[in-house]
Chain A
Amino acid sequence: MMPVFLAQLAKDRRSPALIILFIVGSVLATVLFTGGTQAPVTVQIFSEEEQTEEIEAKWEQLLNQEGNMEFVVTEEEEARDNVRQGRSDLAIKLFEDDYEIVTSSNLPTVQYVDQHVRTVFEREARIQVATEEASNPEELRQEIKSQLEDPLFAMEVESTTGEELSAHDMGIQLMYAFTLLVAMFIIGFRVNNVSKDKVDCIWDRVILSPVGKTSMYTGYIAYAFFIGFVQTVIVLMVFNYVLQYDLGERFDLLVVVVAVFTFSMVSIAMLFTGIVKGPEQFYALYPSVIPLIPLISGAYMMPGTITHPVMTFIGDLFPVSHAIEAMIGVTLYDATWQDITQPIIIMILIGVVSMGIGINLVERRRG
């Protein structure tokens, strides 16, 4: 096992560019697509109603009251042009009691902003309904506002573990989604070395040596696991310690989830290697299929967005959704060992089954 492992390591030591590129790419992709959870997102707002100025001023003030986004009133033509040219991901068209999102893409930022705007509009709608019948609406509004700030009854929402229930942070979820996506690529390319070395006849030479087949497979699998695991942990450490993302108190649990996910993904890649005819086909198909997995698994969307039973079934067949569920649990809801046991067991199960079928198919292809 060790000679095979060391040879793979020596190859990557000779040309580490790909690994470094993946690590940097992973961090950049997250910062780029989420705008970074720490940096405010600027969103242009405008209205085409009769009382344009009044509507814009009202919603600008309400939307900017909380959250880490900045809503700026802009001319309609300019806002639309910015979206059209790709300078902005989206703009918000305001009505008196409603809004429309102007966008030309389906980037995660759109859902992220939509979530915040919807919350503000729904709260304002409730206050309006309450003040409609009042003799002095403005007075009632102020009263509601002050009571909301200092309520008569304080309501505490607790999670099932008794802890405080945190709001879902889409930025953290996207960070995990991109990190795991990049890890899936690097793991796949390293597992594909089995197929590449077979085509190059190196595999035949190893078979003729005293090294057993089990040791050979273990060497390749262990290396793919090692490189995928190290890469993912480095990326998480960069987010946690360098970019100061709040990944929760239990980094150790995150590392365990990453380890199980990596094993599971190595197995999926082995299954893929067994299905395709050769390394070239792998290079052509794997990068096309892999980006779809987080998409189907709902990794880029708010939890509960995908409800179609077939889609959720397909998503559950891959480890990404389970890994993100466990990682979000650890980061946002202070999940413990017990809480992440189920996703971990499912990932191990996916790994064992895929590895078994994958190696079997690779062996059959030997001819």
Chain B
Amino acid sequence: MLETVQLTKAFKGKTVVDEVELYLDQGESVGLLGPNGAGKSTTISMISSLLKPTSGDVKLNQKSTIKNPVDLRKVLGVVPQEIALYEELSAYENLKFFGRIYRVPKSELESRIQDTLEIVGLKERQKDLIKTFSGGMKRRVNIATALLHNPKILILDEPTVGIDPQSRNYILEMVRQLNEQKGTTVLYTSHYMEEVEQLCNRVYIMDHGKVIAKGTKSELLSILSNEDTISVQPNRIDEEFLAAVKEIEGVRKVEVSGEEINIIAKKASNIVSELVNVGERHQVQILNFQMENPSLENVFLHLTGRTLRD
């Protein structure tokens, strides 16, 4: 349905998106995962025709959209990372404005506004000004404005940034329902691995402007099939101890996360007993020890040596 071909963008000689290739099939929910600054928003801006690529192409049903994005824009709903609403107007007035610019027929506008408000759960607050809304409610109206013209493809750029867990869950559930019940194709970007895991059939992982891994969740996790993910909680963490852990045979990645150390090591290596030995040698007591099922976070750590929130 929608695909990018070697999509590249450079600003002042610096390449921020480098030959990105991704595709979305109809009805799919695809995640674009990566840390801040990975190039996700720039990729989305190019896909949605807001930004012209330096090279490469964006195709809708095999047809290039770079020179003539009209057809693409008709089927596209874009939810930007920023709250792009008139704060001085009510939720209803904002929806009316966006409905008008998307040329929703006059006879249908009112019912579409009410339906959309129902979807985002703000029907009761429609007359209230946006500036009186909480962050989560603003995010929901931000999404609602992109749904008014019944888009076939919905692109959401980090729609849960800076909101409370309750609103976040509401939004995730709403996107899931749009995808499953209405058949809307979804491209969802986030640096929250758990959101993408929860929502998406397929995932692209981006870092430094490149797609470094892609596939279904199980395909991505299979990257770690020859490795174990171990979480260790010692009574103290010092440089010498960490250096010694990295020296253990079979250890591939070591990452400190708060009071814990996440270790990715080759499967079947004798990591447990070696860790205890290293701890004794450096007078470090192992308080807790856990073998974990690998997650996309671990995959990212494995591929880049960094966590998503670095």
Which residues does A use to contact B, with CB under 8 Å? 2-4, 6-7, 10-11, 14-15, 200-202, 204-211
Contact = CB atoms under 8 A, between A and B. Distances in A.
Contacts of B86: 7, 10-11, 202
Nearest to B90: A14
Interface in B123-151: 129, 145-146
Given A208-B50, A208-B78, A15 B84 contact: no
Nearest to B101: A209
A200 B85 CA distance: 8
B84 A200 contact: yes
A205 B89 contact: no
B81 to A, nearest CB: 8
B49 A3 contact: no
A209 B74 CA distance: 8
Interface in B25-66: 48-50
A211 to B, nearest CB: 5
Contacts of B88: 11, 14-15
A208 B73 contact: yes
B84 A204 contact: yes
Contact of A7 (B49, B50, B73, B89): B89
Contacts of A10: 86, 89, 93, 97
A209 B48 CA distance: 11
A-side interface mostly: helix
**Most chain B beta-carbon neighbours within 10 Å: one of A10, A11, A205, A210:** A205
B84 A201 contact: yes
A305 B100 CA distance: 53
A79 B89 CA distance: 55
B103 A204 contact: no
B176 to A, nearest CB: 24
B66 to A, nearest CB: 15
B73 A202 contact: no
Nearest to A4: B101
Interface of B: 48-50, 70, 73-74, 76, 78, 80, 82-86, 88-89, 93, 97-98, 100-103, 129, 145-146
27 contacts: A2-B100, A3-B100, A6-B100, A7-B89, A7-B97, A11-B86, A11-B88, A14-B129, A15-B88, A200-B83, A201-B80, A202-B84, A202-B85, A202-B86, A204-B78, A204-B84, A205-B80, A205-B84, A206-B101, A207-B50, A208-B49, A208-B73, A209-B103, A210-B70, A210-B74, A210-B102, A210-B103
A211 B101 contact: yes
Contacts of A3: 97, 100-101
A201 B101 contact: no
Nearest to A215: B101
Contacts of B74: 210
Given A10-B89, A10-B93, A15-B88, A204 B101 contact: no
B82 A200 contact: yes
Nearest to A11: B88
A14 B84 CA distance: 19
Contacts of A208: 48-50, 73, 76, 78
Nearest to B81: A201
B103 to A, nearest CB: 5
A6 to B, nearest CB: 7
The 6 closest A-B pairs by CB, nearest first: A3-B100, A201-B84, A209-B101, A201-B82, A7-B97, A3-B101
Contacts of A206: 101
B171 to A, nearest CB: 18
A205 B98 CA distance: 8
A204 B89 contact: no
Nearest to B102: A209
Contacts of B76: 208
Given A11-B89, A15-B88, A209 B97 contact: no
B36 to A, nearest CB: 18
Contacts of B129: 14
Given A3-B97, A15-B88, A200-B82, A205 B145 contact: yes
Contacts of B78: 204-205, 208
Contacts of B93: 7, 10
Nearest to A211: B101
A80 B89 CA distance: 54
Given A7-B97, A210-B102, 6 more contacts: A7-B86, A15-B88, A200-B85, A202-B86, A204-B80, A210-B73
A202 B80 CA distance: 10
Nearest to A205: B84
